[in-house]
Amino acid sequence: MTTQAPALRLFFHPHSRAAMVRWMLEECGARYDITRLEFHTSMKAPDYLALNPMGKVPALTHGDTVVTETAAIISYLADLFPEKNLAPATNHPLRGSYYRWMFFLAGPADAALTAQYLGHLDQQTPEQAFMAGYGRFDEVVETLRLAVAGKRYLCGDQFTAADLLMASYLRWAHMMKIIPELPEFSAYSQPLLDRPASLRSIELCTAEMTAQPA
Ligand SMILES: N[C@@H](CCC(=O)N[C@@H](CS)C(=O)NCC(=O)O)C(=O)O
């Protein structure tokens, strides 16, 4: 008797962080289903709030397991498909860099980029920067620049889920004109965005953007 692997389902909107997860699913060669949710309506419906009380996408279900938070989902998938080598082994020294950049992107970088876009940092005082986990916006940008400058990958010579997240955030932050178009950013991220799985995901998301919601 064969046991069936639990199904993967991505709760998704093409114009959202869920696009980052779609790239990861494509990178893993995963079989997955998509449930498209709409802002303000199905994303706030009771059945979805039962999965993610934040009423936000992405969320991933894997059988009875529910994972929310883009970086958590991407990390979960890296571990679910170990044969794809999308994370350094747990006992490898580069696991430290992997965690470092995953958490920096998910936490301080995401918060600082968003706050900058929304104008929340326009009047930031030194005391506020001292208190905030992301410090000052220019420090975050410089940290990102130094992380990728002259690098092909963040963790040695291995493409990992941390690169996928970094390139995704840099792409989004450029599109939204939040960060300057520094040569270090494009030299690092363009080859990653040109990976077949990334291009496939961009194509799928673009097609979904023009499609009528079900
Ligand atoms: N911290 C979450 C953020 C998710 C998030 O903010 N998603 C946005 C789209 S990118 C959303 O669903 N907004 C709709 C809403 O809040 O109603 C993550 O990293 O996944």
For 78, the domain range is 8-85+199-210
Task: Identify the residue whose C-alpha is closest to ligand 1 atom 13.
Answer: 56
113 and 172 inside one domain: yes
In this structure, which long-range contacts are made by residues 128-137, counting pairs with CB atoms below 8 Å and at least 24 apart in sequence? 133/107, 133/108, 134/107, 134/108, 134/109, 135/108, 137/112
Q: What is the reported pTM? A: 0.96
Q: What is the pLDDT of residues 113-155, one digit of tens each?
A: 999 999 999 999 999 999 999 999 999 999 999 999 999 999 9
Residue 12 lies in a domain: yes
Distance 52 CA to ligand 1 centre (A): 11
Contacts of 36 (CB under 8 A, 6+ apart): 12, 13, 14, 208, 213, 214
Contacts of 49 (CB under 8 A, 6+ apart): 55
Structural domain count of the chain? 2
Ramachandran angles phi, psi of 10, nearest 5°: -105, 125
What is the rounded distance in angstroms from the CA atom of residue 46 to the CA atom of residue 99?
A: 34
Q: Could you list the pLDDT tens digit for every one of the 214 residues in the chain?
A: 556 788 999 999 999 999 999 999 999 999 999 999 999 999 999 999 999 999 999 999 999 999 999 999 999 999 999 999 999 999 999 999 999 999 999 999 999 999 999 999 999 999 999 999 999 999 999 999 999 999 999 999 999 999 999 999 999 999 999 999 999 999 999 999 999 999 999 999 999 888 766 5
Q: Which amino acid is at 165?
A: L
Distance 130 CA to ligand 1 centre (A): 26
According to the model, what pLDDT value does residue 204 have? Answer: 93
CATH of the domain at 143: 1.20.1050.10
According to the model, what pLDDT value does residue 3 have? Answer: 66
Distance 104 CA to ligand 1 centre (A): 17
What tokens appear for 99 in the block? Answer: 């965690």
Residue in 40, 52, 56 to alter for ligand 1 test, most ligand atoms within 8 A of Cβ: 56
What tokens appear for 203 in the block? Answer: 């194509």
In this structure, which long-range contacts are made by residues 28-33, counting pairs with CB atoms below 8 Å and at least 24 apart in sequence? 28/77, 28/78, 28/80, 28/81, 28/84, 28/86, 29/81, 29/84, 30/77, 30/80, 30/81, 31/7, 32/7, 32/8, 33/7, 33/8, 33/9
Distance 157 CA to ligand 1 centre (A): 32
Residue 2 lies in a domain: no
What is the rounded distance in angstroms from the CA atom of residue 123 to the CA atom of residue 2?
A: 61
**Which ligand 1 atom is nearest residue 69's CA?**
20
Distance 55 CA to ligand 1 centre (A): 8
What is the rounded distance in angstroms from the CA atom of residue 194 to the CA atom of residue 106?
A: 23
Residue in 17, 165, 169 to alter for ligand 1 test, most ligand atoms within 8 A of Cβ: 17
What is the rounded distance in angstroms from the CA atom of residue 51 to the CA atom of residue 66?
A: 7
According to the model, what pLDDT value does residue 2 have? Answer: 57
CATH of the domain at 81: 3.40.30.10
Residues whose beta carbon lies within 6 Å of some atom of ligand 1: 16-17, 39, 43, 55-58, 69-70
101 and 138 inside one domain: yes
187 and 203 inside one domain: no
Is residue 29 classed as helix, strand or coil in its secondary structure?
coil
69 and 157 inside one domain: no
